[in-house]
Structure 1
Amino acid sequence: MNNRNRLIQLIHVGKRELALDDDTYRALLFANGEHSSCSKMNIKQLENVLAVMEMQGFKRKGNDAQSTFKRRLSPKSGKAKHAEIDKIRAVWITMHQHGIVRDRSEAALDAYVRRMTGRGNQKAVDHVGWLDANQAYTVLEALKNWHRREVVEEMREKGWPVPMNKAGTHPAGYDAVIGEYELMLKKQDVPTSS
């Protein structure tokens, strides 16, 4: 197989592994290869497209061996069979942005889902998208509790105010805590005028 055909094959594998829908794929091709079809691109353009796919998490295996991909990215929201699944993915990505989880990939989230659903005598669910409504709710609540706990600890370490519940006995709910944390992060990034 010549280099050009090998690049086209890798790009097609990358499309599948990154779970790109056709419109997103064509936009990626056009933005990075100046054409919406691989067949019209030269080798340099194909290499540019492949480089962008690799920056998005696509991994090739070895030299000319079959390509592999271990860091699947989450699909677009709104495609899941339960709304909680989209929320799980959103919380997971936010936790990565906050430095709580190291790997934001779908594969890492799937590993977490397997651990959460495989407790006791339960059969583990291998992919977040396969959760039923009850499992999705349980995983979502566990993620939110973990996220809130980590954020509250960091806020206390930095001396930031932690929103409390109405009784003033415990930190407030997930949305209030994460909202305050995001606000404090934004204030930290805004330069002060002198």
Structure 2
Amino acid sequence: MRANTIKLIHVARRSLGLDDETYRSMLASVVPGKHSCRDMNDTQLKKVLETMKKRGFNPVSKAKPKVPGGIAGKIRAIWSVMHRQGFVTRKDDAAIDAYVKRITRHHNGGEGVARLVWLRDEHAGVVLETLKKWHMRCMLEHLPDNGLKPTYERTCERYQQLQSK
């Protein structure tokens, strides 16, 4: 906590364009007798940070990586195809979210991610791959065995050909 507050104060210093002399005099005016963050306790550091916010510093947190639209889109597309093919009964977001929560529970310490849109990169790939494997198993149940180990894409093509006959 302390180290993060000091880092944030230094970011604020750069953001406000304070030179060293101005910065140290500002520290001394906020916390008398202190010219360095290192010499301050947590309460004093928070006071310095609040002063910097009053002077115009606006901390902006880095955006957390979200599921790339491509992966979420692929998950939705495969789910939609599975619904059209009769492998899943519901096509709505609640059904996809329930699947996402069930799959991520095993990879997230017992607590699943409740919504597809909340997935982060590390879980999105897992959900996509498990969905593709499930879809492939469903399709292979309806296709004759040709002795080859099929890829997901080839299985989709073969199943689509079977459906169009």
Taking structure 2 as the reference length, the TM-score comes to 0.55
Identity across matched positions, percent: 33
Asked if the contact 1:163–1:176 (Cα under 8 Å) also holds between the matched residues in 2, the reply is: no
**Aligned match of 1:184:** 162
Any conservation in 2 of the 1:91–1:144 contact (CA below 8 Å)? yes
The answer to whether the 8 A contact 1:144-1:174 is kept is yes
Q: Tell me by how many angstroms 1:122 deviates.
A: 4.0
- Higher-Rg member (1/2): 2
What one-letter code is carried by the residue in structure 2 that aligns with 1:124? G
What pairs up with 1:24-173 in 2 under 5 angstroms? Answer: 81-119=68-106, 121-156=109-144, 162=145, 168=148, 170=149, 172-173=150-151
Shift of 1:123: 2.7
Structure 1 segments of 4 or more deviating over 6 A?
none
Contact 1:117/1:135, CA 8 A, preserved across alignment: yes
Gaps of 5+ in 1: 1-79, 157-161, 189-194
**RMSD of aligned Cα (Å):** 1.7
Q: Which runs of 5+ in 2 are unaligned?
A: 1-66
Letter in 2 for 1:93: S
Q: How many residues align?
A: 98
TM-score normalised to the size of structure 1? Answer: 0.47
